[in-house]
Amino acid sequence: MDALAHHLFEGTVTFEAALTPIEKGTHWLVHGPLGLVQESVWTIEGEDGELELVEDATIRCSRLLVGTVRKEVLCGSVVAHRGFVEGLMGRVNTI
């Protein structure tokens, strides 16, 4: 996270995440440094064979971190969503 002013973090940033299965998806609760809390619900929605992964997220953090956190979450979500969908497709294909 080199984007943070005055290099508050250099190298790896660690966080704790709890994932809980729910009826149509997954509930995520993430705690990070400097009071960062992200709560997300990922659900599978759609009809007529057309499905999509929908994420509803709430992020609380210091105003100093908002820009960096927003960028990191958006970039990370793309990778995480891809992995999640690939995992689901692998399960579907083995049934």
Question: Which portions of the chain are predicted below pLDDT 50?
Answer: 1-3, 5
The Cα angle at residue 84 between residues 66 and 59, in degrees rounded to 5: 20
**pLDDT for position 7:** 54
| CB distance 33 to 15 below 8 Å | yes
**pLDDT for position 1:** 46
What residues contact 72, with CB distance under 8 A and at least 6 apart? 1
pTM score, whole prediction: 0.67
| CB distance 43 to 24 below 8 Å | yes
**pLDDT for position 16:** 92
